[in-house]
Amino acid sequence: MISPTAEYALRAIVAIAQGGGDSVVTTSLVEMTKVPAGYLPKVLQTLRRAGLVKSKRGLGGGFILARTPDQISVLDVVETVDPIKRIERCPLDIDSHHTVLCPLHKRLDEAAEMVEKSFASTTIAELLVGTSSGITPLCQLAKPLNLGLPPRP
């Protein structure tokens, strides 16, 4: 669906957002996101250049969001690192198709459009809200959930 780089960027943005405005250092981000330590700085640099995060050097340094989580969409992040590929003309270069897509490529493009719309309408703030199961992004549950099942022997 999305590239590993887009997944890494989303994990990083969510982890930084969980900092609540405090700077989050790269080592903490690596631990929280499980993004390879050699690759995360490249992802963060791309996010910084796009204006989604800010960085501070030195003591108390790290990364913070450049905007509030409710002002950043999933699409903003994905499009920054690896844009969703839309099909605008026949990928097979069939002359008779030109810019009129065949049923297969039309459906594939419609699916990409639906993903774009879903990502555009989902903010990072929405991802931070715990679900009814108590699961929040990138966090280990503090204690096992009580699902009404008897304890395991």
Examine the pLDDT at 114 and tell me if it is beyond 50: yes
CA atoms within 13 A on the CB side of 48: 12
The burial of 112, by beta-carbon neighbours within 10 Å (0-12 exposed, 13-18 middle, 19 or more buried), is given as middle
pLDDT in tens, 66-106: 999 999 999 999 999 999 999 888 888 887 777 788 888 89
Q: What residues pair up with 62 in beta bridges, in sequence order? A: 56
User: CA-CA distances (angstroms) from residue 90 to 30, 100, 146?
Assistant: 40, 7, 52
User: Is the distance from CB of 29 to CB of 63 less than 8 angstroms?
Assistant: yes
Domains by residue range for the chain, with CATH? 4-128 (1.10.10.10)
User: Is the distance from CB of 17 to CB of 69 less than 8 angstroms?
Assistant: yes
Split at pLDDT 50, 70, 90, the class of 133 is: low
Q: Which residue has the higher pLDDT, 129 or 81?
A: 81
Q: How far apart are CA 26 and CA 40, in angstroms?
A: 8
Examine the pLDDT at 56 and tell me if it is beyond 70: yes
Residue 139's pLDDT is 59
Residue 134's pLDDT is 64
pTM score:
0.82
Residue 148's pLDDT is 43
Helix, coil or strand: residue 83: coil
Lowest mean pLDDT of 43-57, 73-87, 104-118, 138-152, name the range.
138-152
Q: How far apart are CA 78 and CA 96, in angstroms?
A: 33
pLDDT in tens, 1-46: 799 999 999 999 999 999 888 899 999 999 989 999 999 999 999 9
- Find, among 51, 66, 62, 65, the residue nearest to 27 by Cα: 62
